[in-house]
Amino acid sequence: MTAQWQEQVSLKPFNTFGIDVKARYFTQVHNDDEVREALAQARRLQIDVLVIGGGSNLLLTRDIDALVLHVASRGRRVLSDEAGRVIVEAEAGEPWHPFVQWSLQQGFCGLENLSLIPGTVGAAPMQNVGAYGVEIKDVFAGLTALDRQTGELRDFSLDECAFGYRDSAFKRNPGRWLILRVRFALSHALQAHLDYGPVRQRLAEQGVQQPSAQAISDAICSIRREKLPDPAELGNAGSFFKNPVVSAELVARIRAQYPGVVAYPQAHGLAKLAAGWLIEQAGWKGYRDGDAGVHRLQSLVLVNYGQASGAQLHGLAQRVQADILEKFGVELEMEPNLY
């Protein structure tokens, strides 16, 4: 073992659900060399590797018989600033929300709608995280990843990432790529995205008529704090289910029985349903079974009230999925990665 490795380490501090499972081995890496060393040592010992960042997109259901590699690299920098277009780069281990706030403090616009999302910079492209009408793909300028099979570094363009709804080439190839740093294309001029959710209404309530990027960020933070529990106070992984994309015909059938169904038109005759609305209509909002529950204010969020196991939370999720399929004919897909 290298000196940095620890054995039988509790992962409770490293996942936002607060699930107390153990890693057979655990190490933190802070730069490219430490990443390469840890992966090489794991290969020599024929040990599997689980890479984690902020732990905000994990549901751990058992002890991890592997090396858990915690990416803790730090650093953020301006690569170019020309003609109003700014390229910034951040290391994968940078916490996401502080990075967004740093960009705003520099006078850069583009990330404001993605404020207060938990996790790290490196995890953001994995899921193509998005909120309030903006996704990572909309501000993406490239990333550098390590090929875990060959040890080589590769730069990815927007097209090569194959971003989809909460999806990417990296998510579809688990275990292949380890993201080291990410680049974003920002601007000195604000192009406000205010029409998704209650953002415009919240700004009006705050008396903001000509919002700045910081004002939009502040409004979104206030909305998120009202809707979503703080993982430091109540274990959760944010939105637990993806909003399902279904046919317009299925939406019409649901609307015939539930006129208030929340659906957003998509291309190719499809529509995106609000998963939270479906779950609430099915009566799951505020449901609790022991310490596993559905949040009382936001039915899209599963919560750990203290001592719930990952298996209990997964079981609850499966019950919700089965009920939504029976009642609406809609299959809900989990957002967190299950281990």
* pLDDT at residue 12 tops 90: yes
Q: Which residue has the higher pLDDT, 268 or 2?
A: 268
Which percentage of the chain shows pLDDT scores above 70? Answer: 99
pLDDT number for residue 23: 98
Phi, psi dihedrals of residue 60, rounded to the nearest 5°: -95, 115
In the predicted model, what is the mean pLDDT of the chain? Answer: 94
- Note whether 147 and 185 are within 8 A (CB): no
Using the Cα atoms of residue 91, residue 75, residue 47 and residue 129 in order, give the sign of their dihedral: negative
Is 50 exceeded by the pLDDT of residue 292?
Answer: yes
Angle, CA 294 vertex, CA 288 and CA 297 arms, to 5°: 115
Q: Are residues 220 and 245 in the same domain?
A: no
Contact at 8 Å (CB) between 273 and 266?
no
For residue 126, the model assigns a pLDDT of 94
Query: Closest Cα to residue 136, out of 107, 105, 171?
Result: 171
Which letter, b or e, does each residue of 241-255 get, where b requires 16 or more Cβ atoms within 10 Å of its Cβ? bbbbebeeebbeebe
Based on the fold, state whether residues 320 and 212 are members of the same structural domain. Answer: no
pLDDT computed for residue 241 by the predictor: 96
pLDDT of residue 3: 44
The angle at the Cα of 231, spanning 224 to 56, to the nearest 5 degrees, equals 90
Where residue 202 sits, what CATH number does that domain have? 3.30.465.10
Q: How confident is the model at residue 4 (pLDDT cuts 50, 70, 90)?
A: confident
Could you tell me if residue 216 is inside a domain?
yes
Give me the pLDDT at residue 1, please. 46
- Residue (of 88, 58, 114, 137) closest to 335 by Cα position: 58
In a domain, 1, yes or no: no
- For residues 88 and 222, membership in a common domain is answered with yes
Please state the rounded mean pLDDT for residues 268-273.
92
> For residue range 77-134, what is the model confidence (pLDDT) as tens digits?
999 999 999 999 999 999 999 999 999 999 999 999 999 999 999 999 999 999 999 9
The residue range of the domain holding 35 is 6-71
Last residue of a domain, one of 202, 227, 252: 227
89 lies in the same domain as 139: yes
| Same domain? 316 vs 262 | yes
Average pLDDT score over residue span 43-68: 95
User: Into how many domains does the chain fold?
Assistant: 3
Residue 197: pLDDT band (50, 70, 90) is: confident
State whether 211 and 277 are in the same domain.
no
* pLDDT the model gives residue 100: 98
Q: What pLDDT score was predicted for residue 174?
A: 86
Residues 163 and 279 both lie in one domain: no
- Among left, alpha and beta (phi > 0; psi -120 to 50; other), residue 273 is beta
Paired tokens of 139 = 């501000």
pLDDT in tens, 43-54: 999 999 999 999
Give residue-wise pLDDT tens across range 160-188.
Answer: 999 998 899 999 998 899 999 999 999 99
Say if CB 68 and CB 25 are below 8 A apart.
Answer: yes
Which CATH number fits the domain that encloses residue 318? Answer: 3.90.78.10
pLDDT greater than 90 at residue 2 = no
- Does residue 179 lie in a domain region? yes
Looking at the annotation, which residues are catalytic?
A: 166, 239, 335
Query: What whole-number percentage of the chain has pLDDT above 90?
Result: 89
